[in-house]
Structure 1
Amino acid sequence: MFNRRSGQTDLKFPPGARVRAEPARGLEARSPRRSIQSNPAVVDLFLRVEAQNDRSSRDTTTRALIAVRRGLICGHGVRQCIDSLGTPSTVCGTSNHTVRTIGMAAFSEFRPLSDSALMVEYIKSTPALSSKLGDQFDDLDIKEVGDGNLNFVYIVVGSSGSLVIKQAIPYIRCIGESWPMTKERAYFETRALREHGHLCPDHVPEVYHFDRTMCLIGMRYLEPPHIILRKGLIAGLEYPLLAEHMSEYMAHTLFHTSLLYHTTTDHKSAVAEFCGNVELCRLTEQVVFSDPYKVSQYNRWTTPYLDGDAEAVREDNTLKLEVAELKSMFCERAQALIHGDLHTGSVMVTQVSTQVIDPEFAFYGPMGFDVGAYLGNLILSFFSQEGHANEENDRKDCKEWILRTIGETWNLFEMKFVALWNKHKEGYGEAYLPAIYNNSELLQLVQRKFMTDLFHDTLGFGSAKMIRRIVGVAHVEDFESIQDASRRADCERKALNFAKMLMKERRKFQSIEDVVLAIQDVQ
């Protein structure tokens, strides 16, 4: 369906389906026969698609064709449209475009780009990437910089340009081949980057290229002085625009992908597509909502100092009741297209720039999971600061700045989210129909309840993310970089105790200022 607001067509059709020419809302109907016959490249493409047996290729190309038929793209744009949808098929251009196969024969099936020579060969074969380097390959500097849990990430820098290549591999990198993981996560990451980038272009890096066969994304290189936010916080750095930027990103991406903005038809279609990211959702279900609360081979903690604390989590029945509710919400509530892993390692910053990366866990889920994950990681950073303090820097100023940032982030997010709601209250969103919620007093009541529920969801999910980072499988560098194990455990214990309290008592908190005061009270 063509979305008039986003300007995008996002259609899927079953194998063998006949697509009727249906005018998009607000657009003049166009003859499908005339649209197809007017461009030889489209005719050729259409005939070859009809002969294909591969469902994904046929579906993708049909989506491109329907866009041509509705006049949303011209025939010249078919190749770009199909590229963006990730089909590694051969596509014919017009007389002004060279006939080209996406990828060389060497890349017709998945293979890791494990060395520089192979990487250069791939870039040369891909115009969307080679053009970003000025087609200059003699002086390329290629570095593997992936320090995450799942993927390989390469920075490619030349005299005429730069880019980043990210490739998904079929297992969890931090565990090894014993824990398989779908490579299809790269597709959902690309979809989320493009959707969120459309909604908030100032805070999402541009995607240049996606290859579904190679499970590979080419995107903008966030050049120095950009660094991972988590590393900046560990170093005690402050970022004055962080709250402004992150509140902007979360407000726009969450509001504009929710039923407050979309029709139920558009929303269900989008939900259905992202349901395909089920393996990464199941991974989150396991490592966030299950493993920390039972004996698991993957759990770890700072032993022996936290042995009793880890056992206490496993024996806390009240905590288990609360996390069960949060897990159900995570699995069942398709509120908005969430990033799915929005921690301080998924944000790159300078003093004037904030960029959100790595949305491979993206799906339609509860808004509070994104907001909570981000704020929960800021709280972890706060509790880690004592472990990094020394005679030269007691980290007092940094801790105060983190607390201010936590408060400002939520307050700005709430203000911007409600402002978007008010701006579009007469729009297509079907959550609260204007014919029913037709006076300002009622609308304010609805908004107050919505934001209160979202606030409590945020605290619950944030606390779950904190707990799993202390007694689960994947920890955070904020604590792990504290060399003295006893000192590290003291910091982790304070964070863990606060997180347990926050999860169980989250409904008692009425404002973010109450949460900040509770953090300060932890001794």
Structure 2
Amino acid sequence: MPLDTPPGYYSFNEDSVCAFLDSLPDIRTRLGGKPADWRVVEVGDGNLNLVFLIDGPEGSVCLKQALPYVRAAGESWPLPLDRAFFEQAYYRAVASSVEGLTPRFYHYEPALYAIVMEKLSPHIILRRGLIEGRRYPKVAADVGDYAARAIFATSDLGATIEEKAEWSSVFARNTSLLRITAEVVFTDPLGNSPRNRWTSPALDDLAREFRADSALKTTVADWGWRFLTEGQALIHGDLHTGSVMVTETDTRVMDPEFAILGPIGFDVGAFLANLVMNFFAQPGHATAADDRREQADWVLDQVPVFWNAFATRFRSLWETKARGDAYPPAMFGAGDAAALDAARTKFLDRVFADAVAYAGVKTIRRILGFAHNADFETIADPAKRAPLETKSIRLARQFLLEPASFRTAEDIVAAARAV
């Protein structure tokens, strides 16, 4: 390969994937038959990795392999392969807490930085479904439940000092993807990075306006500082509608290679932001037969569904599963119930406030930065796309500069509808 890679590493193609899986007895049995009987398709359409779907006579699997560069940018942007290690480490850390809400994990091959996991079928990526105008009755509550379970279990409320120290020692080494987040989410979009792009020329003036907004830039920098320094829990790090696969009855969260010890509100805010952006994008996908107004309203209504599911589950776990060294159960008795309940409310209010700010940051980066959302990008006509992006990014600025306006999830809904 043209880039430096460790001894023994090679990137898979459809033939070498079969040879590799044939060397794994459990996977060979799961697929059934022989390699000649297997059907292999490479479907990776994200920014980073190769993704193969393999179907055999008896079953199927998915194989995901890290490439030594950012796939969306090509070999001009080298990237260490170890993100696959951190992805499988995250799955192992949260597996017992989120059973049924992530793909089943089967095998990790360290020399090839490859993960073999459950192939999800007939699932599709949530973002694609929402763009197509589909509705998933369970998804917002399921993702909220997932986030609460994974975050609580790896926080100082649900884990011991020793457990959290172990995760810290592992995930502190995920520096390559941490740097990508720090740069493409917080630094680049309001700077002059050559990686930035937007709907030009329609948004040229808006981009200049945002880059000249000192109050906005210092606020985003403050949240970037907090992102780098607040290790509240093991977070997914990239929890958006493109990292969720769904059917009408099943939800699975995937792609946690950006996992770090970080602020709880970052994951929550990322998902909130993506729901709101999809709401704003819906008119751009309207047809003569469907103006998408009802779909947009449904998507926006999922904002409080998601937040309430997260907050309810997190509070319930705190009440029944607390075993960590923060707010230790041994410290509190029956007479402390009211004060402890108030502390839980205060904590969740703080998480919500953090989430609103991070939602603002994530929205700005998706409109003025390097990696954009398909919600807007698949609107082919720039004249339709730019006004919708403008509405979304102006609400994002409100999230960041008018935090007192957003005390509840319903405040987000009202502000989005007002825009």
Q: Return the offset for 1:108.
A: 6.7
- Are 1:109 and 2:8 an aligned pair? yes
Aligned residues: 412
Matches within 5 A, 1:16-165: 109-113=8-12, 115-165=13-63
Residue type at the aligned position of 1:309: L
CA contact (8 A) 2:69 2:75 kept: yes
- Partner in structure 2 of residue 223 of structure 1: 121
CA contact (8 A) 2:33 2:57 kept: no
TM-score normalised over the length of structure 1: 0.77
- Are 1:411 and 2:308 an aligned pair? yes
Q: Return the offset for 1:129.
A: 2.2
Distance in 2, Cα, partners of 1:324 & 1:188? 26
Residue type at the aligned position of 1:320: K
CA contact (8 A) 2:104 2:118 kept: yes
Distance in 2, Cα, partners of 1:371 & 1:378? 11
Structure 2 SS opposite 1:474: coil
CA contact (8 A) 1:372 1:457 kept: yes
Deviations along 1:244-297, one digit per CA (max 9) or x if unpaired, are 211210110011110001122221221111101111011000000000011011
Structure 1 SS opposite 2:100: helix
Deviations along 1:196-253, one digit per CA (max 9) or x if unpaired, are 22211111111111011100000000011x1000000000100001122112101100
- Partner in structure 2 of residue 345 of structure 1: 242
Structure 2 SS opposite 1:238: coil
Structure 2 SS opposite 1:202: coil
- Are 1:234 and 2:234 an aligned pair? no
Distance in 1, Cα, partners of 2:313 & 2:27? 36
TM-score normalised over the length of structure 2: 0.96
Q: Return the offset for 1:313.
A: 1.3
Deviations along 1:477-508, one digit per CA (max 9) or x if unpaired, are 11111011110101111101111111111243
Distance in 1, Cα, partners of 2:181 & 2:339? 37
Residue type at the aligned position of 1:188: F
CA contact (8 A) 1:189 1:359 kept: yes
Structure 2 SS opposite 1:240: coil
Alpha-carbon RMSD: 1.3
1:422 is aligned, of 319, 323, 327, to 319
- Are 1:495 and 2:418 an aligned pair? no
Which has the larger Rg? 1
CA contact (8 A) 2:367 2:393 kept: yes
Structure 1 SS opposite 2:179: helix
Q: Return the offset for 1:469.
A: 0.4
Q: Return the offset for 1:463.
A: 1.0
Deviations along 1:417-450, one digit per CA (max 9) or x if unpaired, are 101101134xx31111235444012102211211
CA contact (8 A) 1:245 1:354 kept: yes
Residue type at the aligned position of 2:340: L
Distance in 1, Cα, partners of 2:131 & 2:44? 18
Return closer, same or farther for 1:437/1:505 CA change in 2, 3 Å cut-off.
Answer: farther
Structure 1 SS opposite 2:173: helix
Q: Return the offset for 1:146.
A: 0.4
CA contact (8 A) 2:405 2:411 kept: no
> Greater CA deviation, 226-235 or 241-250?
241-250
Deviations along 1:7-53, one digit per CA (max 9) or x if unpaired, are xxxxxxxxxxxxxxxxxxxxxxxxxxxxxxxxxxxxxxxxxxxxxxx
CA contact (8 A) 1:210 1:216 kept: yes
Q: Return the offset for 1:341.
A: 0.4
Q: Runs of 5+ in structure 1 lacking a partner?
A: 1-106
| Higher RCO (CA < 8 A, seq sep 6+) | 2
Distance in 1, Cα, partners of 2:270 & 2:282? 19
- Are 1:360 and 2:265 an aligned pair? no
CA contact (8 A) 2:62 2:116 kept: yes
Q: Return the offset for 1:136.
A: 2.5
Deviations along 1:126-172, one digit per CA (max 9) or x if unpaired, are 22321221243222111110010000101111222111110001110
Distance in 2, Cα, partners of 1:401 & 1:149? 29
Distance in 2, Cα, partners of 1:396 & 1:348? 24
CA contact (8 A) 1:194 1:206 kept: no
- Are 1:166 and 2:64 an aligned pair? yes
Identity, in percent, stands at 41
